């Protein structure tokens, strides 16, 4: 303001001088014109007055920024680290899926056609081995069996008669018949001889003589037949006749047994203990031979059939105990068998595991077999939080490089070979007190790191290369 006043005075003085002539007389400039000149001079020089005022804050801010940088360099950032240890291998856990099946399951049906007259079970019912499940109409079989039984009694009576032999009365009657025929033959022969003498004398015709002769011959044949029957009765029944009659009895017995088998097959029995999974027909239905009536599943003994690679199957010994996962349940199982053929589609070997009995298990559920496989590879374990995403999908870590009494951050590229969760394996990170704390996951890496290197495990988003840090 002093400068402005001085400038104004000079301008005023100049204006005053210019208003006077050489002889010292006043010029014609008025007082109002002089006041206007003073105001214009003040507006021209006012920006120069603001320059010192603006420069003072800039200098203060610059001074404070330099002080902050000096403080930041003086105070190193504390970081959590882990010291790498060389490992020659790592384990991976793989899970193979299969199906939970019942050891035995059958679609049951009748072996003969017929009409279903009774069903003793329904869907979901539990049954025991040998329990009747359904029945067919058997009235035709019962009638057929009754008829065969009557025939058997008849044939059996004839057999008993043959085995007993002829009665004495029959033999006596046969002997009387033979004696009577023998007397008739003698009489007929005498009459024939007399007729021959009369024919020689011409008293009778040749026809009458022939009748007498043929009558005697007929009686002789009848006598021979009666004698044979008498001899047969005296000798008893022949062995061949008894054998033939016995064969007829056995044939009828076989037919009766066949009917009994059909009667048994008219009832559907449970071949094993289990649970009815489905019923296909109702009472009154006419079914064919072999048609499915119901399905039965043995749920007391379950098996898990899981396909695994050949090298994994070789490590699973028969009788070894494994853990099978069904849903969210872990169930103990024993390796019962390994099928000898490789599946052409999946190129896997089916391993059969007998699962411990559990009523909660359901046939057809998905069964999983977790296995642990060792991988021969040299590398280092570190928490997954230590990994920093790099370019082109690569990974890096921040390592500490000691310089005198300070540590500087350097970036090292690594290759991630395997990552696992903390639930699968315990992993630890060194904290500020030197104790070990658990992390969420860890990774097995290899690359531009070495044994003993200290790696920053957390807070990598606030770290830059070259930064000074203090390990905890």
- Letter string b/e over residues 332-350, b meaning 16 or more CB atoms within 10 A of that residue's CB: ebebeebeeeeeeeeebbb
State the average pLDDT over residues 385-393.
85
- Residues 317-349: pLDDT tens digits? 999 999 999 888 888 899 999 998 888 888 899
**Can you tell me which residue has the tokens 């023998």?**
182
- For residue 391, the 8-state DSSP code is G
End-to-end Cα, the chain, rounded Å: 62
Local structure of 170: helix, strand or coil: helix
In whole numbers, what is the pLDDT of the chain averaged over residues? 79
Distance of CA 43 to the CA centre of its chain: 96
Between the alpha carbon of residue 465 and those of residues 289, 415, 456, the distances in Å are: 84, 20, 12
390: pLDDT confidence band, cut at 50, 70 and 90? confident
CB atoms closer than 10 angstroms to residue 266: 19
Q: Kindly tell me if the per-residue pLDDT of 12 is higher than 70.
A: no
pLDDT at 422: 59
pLDDT at 141: 94
User: Residue 369 pairs with which residues in a beta bridge?
Assistant: 96
**Can you tell me which residue has the tokens 């007082």?**
31
- Residues 405-420: pLDDT tens digits? 889 999 999 999 988 8
pLDDT at 286: 94
Q: Kindly tell me if the per-residue pLDDT of 7 is higher than 90.
A: no
426: pLDDT confidence band, cut at 50, 70 and 90? very low
66: pLDDT confidence band, cut at 50, 70 and 90? very low
Residue pair 316/322 in contact (Cβ under 8 Å)? The answer is yes
Close Cβ partners of 176 (under 8 Å, ≥ 6 residues apart): none
Q: Kindly tell me if the per-residue pLDDT of 381 is higher than 60.
A: yes
- Residues 216-241: pLDDT tens digits? 889 888 888 888 888 777 776 678 88
- The Cα–Cα gap between 120 and 109 comes to 14
CB atoms closer than 10 angstroms to residue 388: 18
Q: Whole-structure pTM over 0.85, yes or no?
A: no
Q: Kindly tell me if the per-residue pLDDT of 373 is higher than 50.
A: yes
- The Cα–Cα gap between 382 and 384 comes to 6
Residue pair 422/75 in contact (Cβ under 8 Å)? The answer is no
Which of 248, 253, 234 minimizes the C-alpha distance to 160? Answer: 248
Pick the more confident residue, 279 or 51: 279
Mean pLDDT is highest, among 4-8, 228-232, 285-289, 391-395, for 285-289
State the average pLDDT over residues 143-162.
92
Residue pair 382/445 in contact (Cβ under 8 Å)? The answer is yes
pLDDT at 265: 93
In the chain, % helix, strand, coil (3-state, to 5) comes to 40, 35, 25
Q: Kindly tell me if the per-residue pLDDT of 184 is higher than 50.
A: yes
pLDDT at 410: 93
- Residues 80-139: pLDDT tens digits? 999 999 999 888 888 999 998 888 889 999 999 999 999 999 998 999 999 999 999 999
Strands 468-471 and 77-79: parallel
- The Cα–Cα gap between 455 and 448 comes to 12
Distance of CA 336 to the CA centre of its chain: 16
Pick the more confident residue, 65 or 457: 457
- The Cα–Cα gap between 467 and 458 comes to 15
User: Residue 101 pairs with which residues in a beta bridge?
Assistant: 303
């Amino acid at each position: 303001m002093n400068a402005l006043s001085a400038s104004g005075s000079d301008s005023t003085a100049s204006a005053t001088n210019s208003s006077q002539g050489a002889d010292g007389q006043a010029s014609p400039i008025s007082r109002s014109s002089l006041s206007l000149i003073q105001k214009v001079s003040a507006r021209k020089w006012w920006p120069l007055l603001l320059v010192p005022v603006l420069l003072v804050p800039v200098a203060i801010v610059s001074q404070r920024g330099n002080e902050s940088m000096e403080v930041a360099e003086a105070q190193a950032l504390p970081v959590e680290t882990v010291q790498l240890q060389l490992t020659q291998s790592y384990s991976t856990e793989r899970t193979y899926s299969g199906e939970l099946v019942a050891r035995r399951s059958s679609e049951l049906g009748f072996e003969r056609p017929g009409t279903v007259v009774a069903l003793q079970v329904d869907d979901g019912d539990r049954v025991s081995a040998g329990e009747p499940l359904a029945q067919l109409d058997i009235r035709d079989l019962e009638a057929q069996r009754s008829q065969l039984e009557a025939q058997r009694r008849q044939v059996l009576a004839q057999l008993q008669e043959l085995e007993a032999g002829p009665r004495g009365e029959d033999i006596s009657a046969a002997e009387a018949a033979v004696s009577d025929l023998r007397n008739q033959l003698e009489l007929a022969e005498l009459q024939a001889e007399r007729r021959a003498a009369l024919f020689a004398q011409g008293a009778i015709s040749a026809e009458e003589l022939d009748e007498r002769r043929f009558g005697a011959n007929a009686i002789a044949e009848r006598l021979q037949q009666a004698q044979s029957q008498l001899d047969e009765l005296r000798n008893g029944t022949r062995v061949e006749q008894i054998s033939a009659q016995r064969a007829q009895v056995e044939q009828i017995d076989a037919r009766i047994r066949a009917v009994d088998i059909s009667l048994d097959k008219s009832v559907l029995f449970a071949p094993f203990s289990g649970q009815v999974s489905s019923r296909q027909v109702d009472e009154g239905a006419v079914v064919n031979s072999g048609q499915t009536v119901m399905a039965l599943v043995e749920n007391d003994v379950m098996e898990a059939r899981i396909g695994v690679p050949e090298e994994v199957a070789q490590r699973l010994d028969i009788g070894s105990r494994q853990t099978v996962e069904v849903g969210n349940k872990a169930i103990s199982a024993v390796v019962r068998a390994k099928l000898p053929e490789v599946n052409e589609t999946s190129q896997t070997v089916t391993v059969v595991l007998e699962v411990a009995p559990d009523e909660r298990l359901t046939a057809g559920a998905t069964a999983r077999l977790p296995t642990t496989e060792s991988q021969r590879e040299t590398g280092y374990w570190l928490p997954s939080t230590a990994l920093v995403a790099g370019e082109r999908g690569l990974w890096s870590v921040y390592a500490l490089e000691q310089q005198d009494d300070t540590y500087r951050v350097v970036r090292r590229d690594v290759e991630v070979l395997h990552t696992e969760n903390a639930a699968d394996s315990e992993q630890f990170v060194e904290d500020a007190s030197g104790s070990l704390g658990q992390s969420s996951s860890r990774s097995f890496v290899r690359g531009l790191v070495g044994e003993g290197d200290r790696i920053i495990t957390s807070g990598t988003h606030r770290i830059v290369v070259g930064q000074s840090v203090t390990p905890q």
